[in-house]
Amino acid sequence: MDYAQCYDRNIGLFTPEQQGTLRRATVTVAGTGGVGGIEAATLARFGVGELRLIDPGVFDEPDMNRQFGALASTMGRNKARVTAEMIRDINPFCTVRVQEKGLSNEAELREFMAGSHLVIDAIDYMGFDCKAAFARAARSLGLYNLTAPIPGFGTLLMIFAPRGMTLETFFQAPEDPALWPGHQIRLDRILGPERFGGLAAEFLRGKRKTLPSCAGAAALNGGLVATEAALILTGLRPESAIVAAPRVAYLDMLRRSFEIYEATA
């Protein structure tokens, strides 16, 4: 197979030189379940040359409604490993590195993501300590960190610039890292009541065990996050135009709305 032929339809949106930049780019994705898998796969479709995937989890039945690698044949298998296999089939020119154990140690994360041009945090929102360690490692390497949960029928894109507001400040984390494992991320404060929805509010109050999510929002997320990453990598999205925290971008298919606004957690 020929790389230029495989990604010929990108040309016009990207110059040949920009496509070459994508081929030389390395992106680390932490979490390859609910949204990370489809984000990584979409980056592979863009022609990104190296993806580094982290996920200690395995696929199970509740993943079937939205997760890219969740198939009847992949139940019980490691999410990062399955996603890597699919990506190699999607983009045979892509080098894929896999870390199957969870990396909550900042030094280990820094070592794994070193050489990346951008990182994506798709870590479950129940694990703030892991998200904070990932964000700190990215910051120490001067990397943009993109993260985007899928509340309701939409997706909320948050970008943390290496010299901008930190993830810990944005989410009002305690100063003592020992308290981070129990820190609850308040998406309701970021979204506001009109965007957050009643079912999600019940989850925060402990009346629901899980946060509702759907395939449409996950697919939307993959397109939004991967496209933003590709625009940043190629320079089509200049640094001055990046919507970084405390500003966020929210796309809601139920309300048919797209908003950019300043949020506080």
pLDDT the model gives residue 184: 78
Question: What is each CA distance from 103 to 69, 123, 133, in whole angstroms?
Answer: 21, 11, 9
pTM, full prediction: 0.93
Please give the average per-residue pLDDT across 217-245, as a whole number.
98
Q: Is the pLDDT of residue 167 over 90?
A: yes
Question: Averaged over 136-154, what is the pLDDT?
Answer: 96
Residue 107 has pLDDT above 70, yes or no: yes
For 108-112, what is the mean pLDDT? 96
On the question of pLDDT at 51 being above 70, the answer is yes
Query: pLDDT exceeding 70 applies to what percent of the chain?
Result: 92
Q: For residue 194, what pLDDT is reported?
A: 66
- Domain segments of the chain as ranges: 3-262
Mean pLDDT for all residues in the chain: 92
Q: Is the pLDDT of residue 29 over 70?
A: yes
**Ordered DSSP codes for the chain:** --HHHHTGGGBTTB-HHHHHHHHH-EEEEE--STTHHHHHHHHHHHT-SEEEEE---B--GGGGGT-TT--GGGTTSBHHHHHHHHHHHH-TT-EEEEE-S----HHHHHHHHTT-SEEEE---TT-HHHHHHHHHHHHHTT--EEE----TTEEEEEEE-TTS--HHHHTT--SSGGGGGGPPP-HHHHH-HHHH-HHHHHHHTTS-SS----HHHHHHHHHHHHHHHHHHHHTSS-GGG---TTEEEEEETTTTEEEEEE---
Q: What is the CATH number of domain 3-262?
A: 3.40.50.720
Between 202 and 2, the higher pLDDT residue: 2
In this predicted structure, what is the pLDDT of residue 174?
87
- The per-residue pLDDT for 193 is 61
Question: Of 191 and 157, which is predicted with more confidence?
Answer: 157
When pLDDT is cut at 50, 70 and 90, the band that residue 128 belongs to is confident
Residue 199 pLDDT greater than 60, yes or no: no
User: Is pLDDT above 80 for 241?
Assistant: yes
